[in-house]
Structure 1
């Protein structure tokens, strides 16, 4: 499948917030869904570089947000109907200097599907910690 990776447009903001809210509620079933809000997307991506993944039909499949100063992938969210179809891979491949650059992220331990995705793309577990949503592992991608 062919994806277009591009910067967000003003008209994307509502759909990106919808994706962020719905995927979190669907995935993080161990967290009270009332803790997730539509306005979280704007607050949680403030100051970050956002990459949008667009399907050939023009619909938004998902997004990745990067905190460039630390090469930290803060978020990668894909709508459920597009999961497993290459959208997440396309977003990773759109990162600056991928795969010749080191990146890191935190993945909740309970989010087994996401962890399997990152491990299959060359990330390695390099640390761990705890957050309000649960324990996490730090994953790092080392250049090829």
Structure 2
């Protein structure tokens, strides 16, 4: 089966917000889950380009991009689809991938995400601290 990557529809907002909320609560176990809210999705993606990944009519996840800085702000995959290629499909849907440079921040404690990005050609180019913890900046440079 193939992945369909498309822009979000109005009817996707609730499921995208639920994926964003549930995956953060499951992944960022060191953060008080009360800090995460369903409304965060709309606020945190305001002004960003969103790519939705679906299979068989079901939404598997999404990627949000801040195009002005070629910054991948979020890539979230619903737990039942993690490890199935949805994240890879979203990266491949980025404009000019893989001939274009992209960057992102990945929390140091999110080892699974970091391994995913490193396996797709990203490299560590910086670091910092956020309210959720220490992060590394990862960049993808075209070959």
1:91 corresponding residue in structure 2: 90
1:20 corresponding residue in structure 2: 20
2:44 corresponding residue in structure 1: 44
Instruction: Report the count of equivalent residues.
Output: 143
Separation in 1 of the partners of 2:79 and 2:33? 17
The list of structure 1 runs, each at least 4 consecutive aligned residues, that deviate by more than 2 angstroms after superposition, is none
1:112 corresponding residue in structure 2: 111
* Alignment partner of 1:78 is 2:48: no
TM-score (structure 1 length as normaliser): 0.98
Structure 2: runs of 5+ lacking an equivalent: none
Q: Deviations over 1:43-81 (max 9, x none)?
A: 0000000000001x2110000000000000000000001
Separation in 2 of the partners of 1:87 and 1:28? 20
The RMSD of aligned alpha carbons is: 0.5
TM-score (structure 2 length as normaliser): 0.99
SS at match of 2:87: helix
How far 1:86 moved relative to its partner? 0.1
